[in-house]
Structure 1
Amino acid sequence: MANFSKPQSIVTMLVALFALLQLTVASQHAAHHHHEHRRHAEIKAHLDRAAEALQKRQGGGIGPYIATSGVCSTGTQWWGDCNPKGRQSYPRLEIRQLKNNADQWNLYLLGMERFMAKDKGDTLSFYQIAGLHGRPFTTWNKFPTPLLNQAGFCPHGTTIFGSWHRPYLAMYEQAWYLAVTEVINGFPSNQQQRWRNAASTLRMPYWDWAQDPGNGQPTVPTTIRDPQVTVTKPQGQVQIANPLYSYTWGKSLPNEMGGGPWNSWPTTLRRPVANPTRSNNNEVNARMNSIRISLRDRIFALFASKQSWGNASTSQIGVRTDLSGSGVDSFESVHDVVHNTAGGETGGHMYYLDVSAFDPIFWLHHTNIDRLLTMYQYIVPNTWVANGNIRGPMAQWNAGESKNGGSPLKPFTKNTYGDYFTSDDVRDTRVLGYYYPETSNRSYSQVAQAVTSLYGGGARKLTKRDGESNYNSVGQYLGRPLKEGDYHHVLDITADKFAMAGSYTVHCFIGNPGNSTSNSTSNSTAPYGNSTSSAYLPTATSPSKKNGTGEILDDYDPALDFTNDPNYVGAYGILGGMKAGNASSPLITRGSLPLTTCLQGKQVHGYLASLHPHDVEPYLHQNMYYKVISDAGEIDPSTIPNFHVAVKCNKVQPAASDDDLPDLSAPFQVLHKATAKLPAGKPYTHTPVPNEMPAPNADYSEDGYNAGYPDNDNGGNYQSPSNSNGEGGFCPVVQTIKYVYPDGRPAGS
């Protein structure tokens, strides 16, 4: 982009004119107030900001930062920011839907290939953008150094988990789309228009791991699992390494990464096996299939909980301490189990928070989490980010700092001069150039219908003839719609996120263990530490079967997989890092695993008289068991610090119409007897420590590490204006967004 300057006289005149306009507006506004000092202060602030904004542009040069804009359809302005005038937003599609458009699918893959191949020193390389999430614990996009802590930038276990990932995904999409445009420029000139047409509405896809793919399709699409893929390049059709299968650092892992799983294996792995070292994507698919009903139920229950967006978005226990509908689960907690399942107890990269972003499946997964959180905004439109604290040391923040919707989402700048995005800035995804199919109408009813269609617990009414068809391939009951008199039951789990190195997963079963068809399940009295952590660890030195795309077919034996047991309910994951956390300052999380669908199946077969708690509690006391597995094998749950389980239930209020959702917001009651004989199942009430819950007078200021523009009078340190809470690096984005109540009334009416 050309770097040019404006004539000094024009800039001076613009400054004066803009200041005069600001003065007029501020004066008219202040006329309604009686506090003279405040009025004069506001006018002066308007003038100062006006002059400062134009003086920054005076030289005409582009600022030192790369602005996060997502896909900018209108091009950049002369100072480097995306031009908002006339900007169009287009939908991010589910990966299987995107594949139906051959040209867009081709560009998506070729863009990923080029993006991943960029030099590691390039700020817009896959290596650098994936690396800012966790390792290699270095700076990015001129973020001030040294970092506050040797840690990544991602605020897991905090109230800004959901909103922080929104500009992060947009930055990734922006860098990938740049690679797409470079790919198009490499085609012959007479072919480029075809590809530009395809790219004009292209956005990166998501992978919906909870929906029924239908038609016998796998839960994990083969497009993510095939090592090789066929694409169209300028020379014609060729086969390339599938960029959705893995990422490679090269011949060895860079030293700055500080080590990685599998002896610093330089290619990302999923549920890896040895001899030779490789991903076991067949087991990934099987495990994702075994938890799909559970994931579906969790998503549906979250939407029906009607809790605030701030509570539903985070697993941080400081906002999840009561027994109302706001206290049992979160989208972040759901997110964790997908990480654990894809990475696997054998130590794949998704299993460790600090290296997970290098696996391409991470981005498909997180885009789906952003989609669900966006959809949820229309269910509870007048709620947003909750006040909360940073629970552990991070690259940009220290533990204990308070954050809210106006806090800068460091390190993502909304312009080239270093003003940070805030959660409030990105409340509408169209600010970043995209939306999701279910939010195209911006309406409660559109989202509610989509949630029921995609995640409702079985729309068919059972009869004696077709009852058996309401089971999946491993014998799990698929569920039925919630009705009057039903109770919703969950296994509630409190856990320390970083209790150990790596992650750990809770696997729940309901049924008589003696009648189990699996030889790998165990009840709570089994000895610990002697279980096989992976479903299958082959001993052969070389695989014997591959399909046409190079996928190995004999890595997985369903008969050895305990998650194929018909008694299996699902998995609950606690995603950790490669190192354990500080035991004296644990990061406590909370979430739940729905039991309702499984209990419906037990009722259908006559094992359970009803779903009323007076029948369910004694049944679970006799028939529910669970196991906890980490990368070290099976663990005695009673030895895990701060780990507790309980069964809770509340009464269901069925949906009033097809445009509505059931209501699961009623207070929960604890069924103490259900877990009385299970490890870590005794009655427990968490008492929040001061650092877990922001005080009413919490200080939201943030000093020191502010992006901005060089202040030569301050030794070249970076300075920037403050927001209303005093935190640096803030410059508001003015938006007009209409939110509506569930009945369609405009917010505020």
Structure 2
Amino acid sequence: MASVRQPRTLLPILFALFFFLQSVVAANSHQHKHRSKLETIEERSNILKKRATIAVTGITGSVYPRLEIRTLANNADQWNLYLLGMQRFQAVDQSDPLSYYQIAGIHGRPYVPWNGVQGVNQGGMCPHVSNLFWTWHRPYLALFEQVWYSHVQEVVNSFPASQQSRWATAASTIRIPYWDWAMAPPSGQSDVPTLIRDKTVSVTTPSGQQTIDNPLYQYTFHPVSNDLGGFPYNTWPTTLRRPVDSNAALTRSNNNDFASIMDSNRISLRDRVYNLFVTTAQFVQVSTEATGEGTGNPSSHDSFEGIHDSIHVISGGESGGHMYYLDYSAFDPVFWLHHCNVDRQMAIWQVLQPDTYVVSGIQTQNNWQWSAGQVKNAYTPLKPFTKDVNGNYFTSMDIKSTSVLGYVYPETGSGSSQSSVRSAVNSLYGPGSSSSKRSISGRSDEFDGRPIRSGDYEYLLNINAHKYSLNGSYTISAFLGNVSSNSTGWATSPNLVGSNGVLAMWGSMGNASAVEIEGCIPLTTSLQGKVATGELESMQPYHVSKYLKTHLTWTVVGPGGVVVPPDQVPGLHISVSSCPVEPAVAHDEFPTWIGTPQVMANVTVGKPAGAPYTPPSSTVVPYYPGSPNSPYYPTSTMSAPWYNPSNPAAEPGYCVVDQTVVYVDQHGNYLYEEKNS
């Protein structure tokens, strides 16, 4: 542990900060071997140096909050810099490793090395459906923010000298924003801000006021590449959301459709987020939708990854927009706003549950750097993100705190506590909160819910499914009442309760049994609405069970908007559960779920895919999408693990860190220190 002697002057603090920041204890007492430095590439700016090994630092210096996109837009100068920085970032030549194109390409396609990480499989680098899903994204977002900020600094320096002080002040505290799709939007506005949907935007440039293409509306490929796969993705010149004609080389986004479907699902999404904050669970349960033997995740029914999938699927749409498929999603600018919000949700959850974190778990599917079946833990290198130019990778332990990467969130900043976070969560997402009241007109999606009362129950529609049951992503939607067998209008039906999206890879039908996932659609708010209109006698299980058996239906919509009978979707199981819940005693407390939700088997019995779910007892089967003729299929080298799959410490780059962080004020005076191991 780092020690600081009295008197605590600036010099000892600096020594403590720089020389005792990390003491590395190699697993099994072996020496940690660093890669040799590779040849330095030309320096682009004094803000960010491009090296053969790229160090992810985030924005260095002081720590400032990432703000909700609508809040950031209220600061005209910072909003202006954010947009101009994004414009410059997206314009960088696609051959540059720090281009928008290549950084987005880390997540999925074009399946090429980045930062020296060579592939062992064909696939993107993001470890979806695993214990590292969330932590991997934190340094990924920090890399994006770091490179974007270098362009913001260039923008500041491009203004006349007489104006630079103004813009430098605005830039000094700016961070990338998040889009909180679960909070109530301002009155009369859509859940999807026009800031994301407007095709053009007015900005202040060094040459004066100009109208430019909105860099949040789409990314323009320059050029579009065959590395993106087959038609239409190798022909579409821009990213698209819910494309109008997916079979055309030239088509357009339908952002109005995107907005209306998000509006129809917002209350359901809000309830899912709120329930995850309210219920007590382990980190792995709330962070990943993966379930099954070896994943570390016992049955929990919902997760931030599961909710995250739904935003992807709604944004991209069944017509195959880029967000609809894991491979292409990071090219759409909305990806970064969305993932920043997921990172924020987990940061909030960490304040509420500080004593649980990443546990060992298997990788459920192949990606670029790992193979299905390999075990990873909190000290696994989060490739390809190195924390220095010597090739030392971040681990999940390195990034438990967002402040090490230069940012916090409004709920998790200085002075935050569990009490203040609970109060903020209740205000933003609590059912019936004053921020999002709606009128009752008999439509389930127009009732905002009410505060929990003594004797109430929580009702959930639970989804167990296979990630790759269909030939791509798909959506399971629940209704209280009938819905047309035609896919048109299902997403905004008056009877819609909510939807659970399943994010998959393009053309990913394969060994569907390998990747088990869970999801959830809360029923409580819609049922409260039925009580309010007199359609349901009470919220007690006897009345609810009888009502649901008659009125609860669900549908599955796959790629191309094809409606698939639920009982023809391999691995799909739908159930309903209930749990007694007691109200909170104060605004800074949560309601209390009594026990665990119990399945109401009589509600779904005899309905399509309504048979009880039984967890498989067999070990996980590696998932290889496609046929033996597919480029995804394993070769003799790819099919065998490149190191002992059951021993995380055998992976090159694995490193156990015993870290002490010493905090000082702006004058270098000692404040406190934290040990992280």
> Of 92, 106, 109, which residue of structure 1 is paired with 2:66?
92
> Of 247, 250, 270, which residue of structure 1 is paired with 2:241?
270
- 8 Å Cα contact 2:439-2:446 kept in structure 1: no
Distance of aligned partners of 1:55 and 1:343 in 2 relative to their CA distance in 1, 3 Å threshold: closer
Q: Where do residues 316-395 of structure 1 align in structure 2 (5 Å cutoff)?
A: 316-318=290-292, 327-395=300-368
Q: Give CA-to-partner distance per residue, 1:235-255, whole Å, 9 cap, x none.
A: 0000000000000113x5212
Displacement after TM superposition at 1:215 (Å) = 2.1
Q: Where do residues 522-671 of structure 1 align in structure 2 (5 Å cutoff)?
A: 522=484, 531-532=486-487, 535=488, 561-583=489-511, 585-632=513-560, 633-664=562-593, 666-671=595-600
TM-score w.r.t. the length of structure 2 is 0.84
- 8 Å Cα contact 1:386-1:405 kept in structure 2: yes
- Which one has a bigger Cα radius of gyration? 1
- 8 Å Cα contact 2:83-2:215 kept in structure 1: yes
Alignment root-mean-square deviation, CA: 3.4
CA distance in 2, matches of 1:735, 1:170: 21
Distance of aligned partners of 1:447 and 1:689 in 2 relative to their CA distance in 1, 3 Å threshold: farther
Tell which deviates more after alignment, 272-281 or 393-402: 272-281
Specify the code of the residue in structure 2 equivalent to 1:117.
Answer: A
CA distance in 1, matches of 2:359, 2:232: 35
Partner secondary structure for residue 95 of structure 2: coil
Distance of aligned partners of 1:341 and 1:656 in 2 relative to their CA distance in 1, 3 Å threshold: same
Partner of 1:102: 76
Displacement after TM superposition at 1:260 (Å) = 5.2
1:169 is aligned to 2:141: yes
Specify the code of the residue in structure 2 equivalent to 1:249.
Answer: F
Displacement after TM superposition at 1:500 (Å) = 2.1
- 8 Å Cα contact 1:110-1:180 kept in structure 2: yes
- 8 Å Cα contact 1:419-1:730 kept in structure 2: no
CA distance in 1, matches of 2:297, 2:343: 26
1:734 is aligned to 2:662: no
- 8 Å Cα contact 2:457-2:539 kept in structure 1: yes
Partner of 2:396: 423
Displacement after TM superposition at 1:311 (Å) = 1.1
CA distance in 1, matches of 2:360, 2:452: 33
> Of 207, 217, 221, which residue of structure 1 is paired with 2:179?
207
> Of 362, 367, 380, which residue of structure 2 is paired with 1:407?
380
Distance of aligned partners of 1:124 and 1:460 in 2 relative to their CA distance in 1, 3 Å threshold: closer
> Of 145, 149, 157, which residue of structure 1 is paired with 2:121?
149
Partner secondary structure for residue 544 of structure 2: helix
Q: Where do residues 665-744 of structure 1 align in structure 2 (5 Å cutoff)?
A: 666-691=595-620, 725-731=649-655, 732=657, 734-736=659-661
Displacement after TM superposition at 1:261 (Å) = 3.9
1:454 is aligned to 2:428: yes
Partner secondary structure for residue 553 of structure 2: strand
Partner secondary structure for residue 197 of structure 1: helix
Displacement after TM superposition at 1:562 (Å) = 3.4
Displacement after TM superposition at 1:334 (Å) = 0.3
Displacement after TM superposition at 1:582 (Å) = 3.1
Partner secondary structure for residue 649 of structure 1: strand
- 8 Å Cα contact 2:224-2:234 kept in structure 1: no
> Of 115, 119, 123, which residue of structure 1 is paired with 2:93?
119
Partner of 1:499: 469
CA distance in 1, matches of 2:522, 2:460: 4
Distance of aligned partners of 1:735 and 1:227 in 2 relative to their CA distance in 1, 3 Å threshold: farther
Partner of 2:54: 66
CA distance in 1, matches of 2:378, 2:241: 35
Displacement after TM superposition at 1:469 (Å) = 2.6
Partner of 1:517: none
Displacement after TM superposition at 1:566 (Å) = 3.0
Specify the code of the residue in structure 2 equivalent to 1:273.
Answer: V
CA distance in 1, matches of 2:207, 2:444: 45
CA distance in 2, matches of 1:591, 1:737: 41
Distance of aligned partners of 1:378 and 1:665 in 2 relative to their CA distance in 1, 3 Å threshold: farther
Specify the code of the residue in structure 2 equivalent to 1:619.
Answer: Y
Partner secondary structure for residue 211 of structure 2: strand
> Of 225, 236, 239, which residue of structure 1 is paired with 2:211?
239
Structure of higher RCO (CA pairs closer than 8 Å, 6+ residues apart)? 2
- 8 Å Cα contact 2:284-2:358 kept in structure 1: yes
Displacement after TM superposition at 1:725 (Å) = 3.3
Partner secondary structure for residue 460 of structure 2: strand
Partner secondary structure for residue 525 of structure 2: helix
- 8 Å Cα contact 1:253-1:264 kept in structure 2: yes
Tell which deviates more after alignment, 675-684 or 239-248: 675-684
CA distance in 1, matches of 2:196, 2:37: 45
Displacement after TM superposition at 1:126 (Å) = 0.3
- 8 Å Cα contact 1:335-1:369 kept in structure 2: yes
> Of 272, 275, 288, which residue of structure 2 is paired with 1:301?
275
Partner of 1:436: 409
Specify the code of the residue in structure 2 equivalent to 1:136.
Answer: P
Distance of aligned partners of 1:321 and 1:592 in 2 relative to their CA distance in 1, 3 Å threshold: farther
Specify the code of the residue in structure 2 equivalent to 1:615.
Answer: H
Distance of aligned partners of 1:265 and 1:438 in 2 relative to their CA distance in 1, 3 Å threshold: same
- 8 Å Cα contact 2:284-2:357 kept in structure 1: yes
CA distance in 1, matches of 2:330, 2:294: 27
TM-score w.r.t. the length of structure 1 is 0.76
Partner of 2:163: 191
Distance of aligned partners of 1:679 and 1:196 in 2 relative to their CA distance in 1, 3 Å threshold: same
1:508 is aligned to 2:482: no
CA distance in 2, matches of 1:734, 1:242: 42
Partner of 1:489: 459
Partner of 2:259: 285
Partner of 2:6: none
- 8 Å Cα contact 1:352-1:502 kept in structure 2: yes
Distance of aligned partners of 1:150 and 1:497 in 2 relative to their CA distance in 1, 3 Å threshold: same
Displacement after TM superposition at 1:263 (Å) = 6.6
CA distance in 1, matches of 2:351, 2:130: 22
Partner secondary structure for residue 659 of structure 2: coil
Distance of aligned partners of 1:262 and 1:154 in 2 relative to their CA distance in 1, 3 Å threshold: closer
CA distance in 2, matches of 1:224, 1:660: 34
- 8 Å Cα contact 2:35-2:390 kept in structure 1: no
CA distance in 1, matches of 2:512, 2:320: 26
Distance of aligned partners of 1:676 and 1:240 in 2 relative to their CA distance in 1, 3 Å threshold: same
CA distance in 2, matches of 1:581, 1:180: 42
Q: Where do residues 472-487 of structure 1 align in structure 2 (5 Å cutoff)?
A: 476-487=446-457
Specify the code of the residue in structure 2 equivalent to 1:729.
Answer: G
Displacement after TM superposition at 1:664 (Å) = 2.9
CA distance in 2, matches of 1:621, 1:230: 53
Displacement after TM superposition at 1:194 (Å) = 1.4
Specify the code of the residue in structure 2 equivalent to 1:639.
Answer: Q
Distance of aligned partners of 1:155 and 1:471 in 2 relative to their CA distance in 1, 3 Å threshold: farther
